[in-house]
Amino acid sequence: DFVEFNKFFERIIERFEMSKSQNVHFIKLLPETSYFVDIDTDKLTQVIDNIISNAIKYSPDGGNIRFGFTVSNNMLKVMISDDGMGIPKENVGRIFDRFYRVDRARARSMGGTGLGLAIAREMIEAHGGKIWAESEEGVGTTIFFTLPYAEDETEDWE
């Protein structure tokens, strides 16, 4: 589907904002300009849902979650950032592996299967993008992903 990414992203963020039970603050830094992407909206929704659920799950009470994206080289670079517990350096590269969870004890109490980010990576790569994480233990985690965008909606019809 051909969708305006700004609106699509905002709608997902708003859905979480209405339903979240934890005391976390959402901060949105989204460009005013419209950017169109040609995506499988169900799959991209699943990807973003998992990233946001993780950010909430691993955030402290009163934590901030930041949403933003920037544009360069015909790619959107999306970032979702939390100031939660973070991930030890030696484990950051593995969180996109199937069934990988940083700490079994902590993982057990948090629920989940460890598949969310592995699926996210598959789906982002299928859309021609990349996904990665930057994290510091005790400071927070940022998940980045890229997606190719179309200059404007008419481009598809030519």
Residues that bind ligand ATP (CB under 6 A): 50, 54-55, 58, 82, 84-87, 95, 100-102, 107, 112-118, 141
| Least distance between Mg ion and beta carbon 154 (Å) | 37
In the complex with ligand ATP, the residue whose CB is nearer, 3 or 118, is 118
129 interface partner picked from ligand ATP, Mg ion, none, CB below 5 to 8 A per type: none
Pick from ligand ATP, Mg ion, none: which does 146 bind, CB < 5 to 8 A by kind?
Answer: none
- Tell whether residue 86 is a contact of Mg ion (CB under 5 A): no
The listed partner (Mg ion, ligand ATP, none) that binds 63, CB under 5 to 8 Å by sort, is none
Least distance in Å: CB of 108 to ligand ATP?
Answer: 10
Least distance CB 36 / Mg ion (angstroms)? 28
Span interacting with Mg ion, options 71-79, 87-95, 115-123, 132-140, rule CB under 5 A:
115-123
- Verify binding: residue 54, Mg ion, rule CB under 5 A: yes
Shortest distance (Å) from residue 132 CB to ligand ATP: 12
Could you write out the three-class secondary structure of the chain?
A: CEEEHHHHHHHHHHHHHHHCCCCCEEEEECCCCCCEEECCHHHHHHHHHHHHHHHHHCCCCCCEEEEEEEEECCEEEEEEEECCCCCCHHHHCCCCCCCCCCCHHHHHHHCCCCCHHHHHHHHHHHCCCCEEEEEECCCEEEEEEEEECECCHHHHHC
Buried b (16+ CB within 10 A) or exposed e, 9-23: beebbeebeeeeeee
